[in-house]
Amino acid sequence: MVNAYRRGRIAEKKVVDWLKSKGFKNVRRSKGSRGAYDIYAVSPAGYKTYVQVKSYSAKMTRGERTKLRNVARKRGGFAAYVHYGGKGRFRMTPLGNWGRKGDRN
């Protein structure tokens, strides 16, 4: 039997592989699940990206979104979350404005 923590870590690994296949570089997972983000990566366009992963029926709370955006803004990057729905289904949602480099989050 797989508990929720383990299921989340498995989803994170699948998202890491998916991000690499999309051209993200320097993809790193956090050591635990206590921080604002689960994955740090550099986008194909060269932007620092802080990613929170949610799997299956889990949803991001308002507080989690705020915390993630604040960390990304403070470190000069972008915030996003990826929902992993199982069976290879991924949905990436940016949190903030990804349009211009000077207009982050």
Task: Name the CATH architecture for the domain at 4-95.
Answer: 3-Layer(aba) Sandwich (3.40)
- How much is the pLDDT for 105? 45
Amino acid in position 25 = K
- Residue whose C-alpha is closest to residue 95's, from 59, 69, 64, 74: 69
- How much is the pLDDT for 32? 72
pTM: 0.84
Task: Give tens-digit pLDDT for 24-46.
Answer: 999 999 887 678 899 999 999 99
Q: Pairing mode, if any, of strands 48-55 and 78-84?
A: parallel
Adjacent-strand bridge partners of 49: 41, 78
- Measured between alpha carbons, how far is 11 from 51 in angstroms, rounded to an integer? 13
- How much is the pLDDT for 33? 67
Distance of CA 88 to the CA centre of its chain: 16
Q: Where are the domains of the chain?
A: 4-95
